[in-house]
Structure 1
Amino acid sequence: MARSRCYTCRIKSCSFLKDCSKNVLEEISDLKQHFTFERGELIVRENEEINGVYFISSGVAKVMLNDVQGRPLIIRLLQPGEVFGHRINNKHKIHPASIVAIEKTNICFVPLSCFLKFFSSDKTFFQGVINQYLNDVRDVELRTLFLAYKTVRQKVAGAMLQIAKAYQYQHDAKGIRIHLERQEIADLASTTKEQVSKILFDLKSEGLINFRAKHFKYINTEALQGILDGSG
């Protein structure tokens, strides 16, 4: 893959690089590497040592953990512009979760030495990473509440909202063709495949979504958000 420049990258504004100077971005551009992962390929493994920071430039990946019973749990979906591998310090040097490609996914990899250099020397870079940390913590808090208190219908609605966001669903487009199996949606919603299928058909009969197999032609994101919030 041809080496792209961070300064002109269209997804730069989605990550903690958005406010960095051109000099910082140019140096990162010179040092970064590009990798491509096909569907189902492991990008990083839980408890592996962190050796760099990964930015998703295209595609969709899933963040996975196993619960106490060994069942896979999808924590969230990663879309273009998102980053992982940045949560590192002297006491935390391993990946807290596994990352697996859901579809063909292109990654920009920044070596750890480069990341740590700017984290220590550039105030804008440092603040961007700290803001990313805070966003990550908030996501974990919301996920904990989601799993503890939401009904199955709310969980499936929330999973569909995550999918719509990851695949950049737009109401005026032709829908989205996802690469998730029903079991993966169940792992994202923390429920069963049978419950997912039932509720998806319920939502379809209510006119809130329209789909055929993995092609979701219509998703009423406002109505799904209402279900998730308990007002719909």
Structure 2
Amino acid sequence: MLANDVESRELVALFKTGTRLTYNKGEFIIRPGESPPGVYYIESGLVKSYDITKYGEENLLIIRKTGEMLGLTWAVTGEDRHIIYSALAPSTVWLITRETFQTFLRAHPIAALPVVDMITDMYRVHSERIMTLEYRSVRERLVSFLITTSRRFGKKSGPHIRLDVPLKQQDIASSINATRETASRALAELERKGLITSEQSYITILDETALRAFL
């Protein structure tokens, strides 16, 4: 990572000159068809970024967590991709205008380092998704998805890894280019083999080594 704590704090301080907003689980931050009103910083919580396919299904793009920003691509390029944001958990965010964000970075270029770090992380996450889709079978793509998700959201508990993010079957299915029914069967197969367990949309990896053996 390029940014140090001082540079990160400077950027957070900028956002805290803006508007503080709170959302309950399931509430929209940016609704379908809306344009971003500015750039968001997530003080706490989880935010789901997705779009809607021509078949009316949700297509998960990425899940953002505490300490990350929303609307960064739009803030830099001005391109509105009509992405929908909703809270996956009770969330608190800070909102500043695009103009405020850009003016600050031009005046304090060193404060752009946390932004570079986040853009790099975005690139890594999306690259991992592309590599996941290179696997031929749904089971392989599912295993790859679970392992890469554990890098961002995994919490170790002894030999187990809990994915500390709620994942609906449709979110998983869209991430691995499968139907919800096929993804559900693949998840059930891994559960029967004792490799994972799932409870209320939270998945725990029980045997990471055995899971990786499928790849």
Shared fold (TM-score greater than 0.5)? yes
Give the secondary structure class of the aligned counterpart of 1:170. strand
Q: 1:26 to 1:195 in 2, by over 3 A?
A: closer
Equivalents in 2 of 1:145, 1:176: separation in Å?
20
**C-alpha contact (below 8 Å) 2:16/2:94 kept by paired residues:** no
Q: Is 2:128 aligned against 1:142?
A: yes
Question: Are the aligned partners of 2:47 and 2:87 in contact in 1 as well (CA < 8 Å)?
Answer: yes
How many residues align structurally? 214
2:174 is equivalent to residue 195 of structure 1: no
- Alignment CA distance shift 1:123-1:168 (3 Å): same
Residue 79 of structure 1 pairs with residue 62 of structure 2:
no
- Which residue pairs with 1:111 in the alignment? 97
Task: For residues 108-127 of structure 1, give each alpha carbon's deviation from its aligned partner in whole angstroms, at most 9, with x where no partner exists.
Answer: 22333331122111122223
Aligned to 2:44: 58
Q: Deviations over 1:31-71 (max 9, x none)?
A: 13222222222212466433322122322222212335443
- Supply the distance in 1 between the matched residues of 2:12 and 2:153 (Cα, whole angstroms): 29
Question: Aligned pair in 2 of structure 1 residues 122, 178: CA closer, same or farther (>3 Å)?
Answer: closer
- Cα deviation 1:78-108 (Å, max 9, x = unaligned): 2222222122467524255222222222222
Instruction: Give the aligned residue type for 1:151.
Output: S
Aligned position for 1:182: 169
More strand by percentage:
2
Q: 1:41 aligns with which of 24, 27, 43?
A: 27
CA distance in 2 between counterparts of 1:221 and 1:158 reads 11
Instruction: Return the alpha-carbon distance in structure 1 between the equivalents of residues 125 and 20 of structure 2.
Output: 27
Residue 208 of structure 1 corresponds to 195
CA RMSD of aligned residues (A): 3.4
TM norm structure 1: 0.72
SS of residue matched to 1:77: strand
| Identical positions, percent | 20
Q: Tell me how far apart the structure 1 counterparts of residues 119 and 161 of structure 2 sit (CA, whole Å).
A: 35
1:140–1:171 distance in 2 versus 1, CA, 3 Å: same
Equivalent in the alignment of 2:146: 160
Amino acid paired to 1:66? I
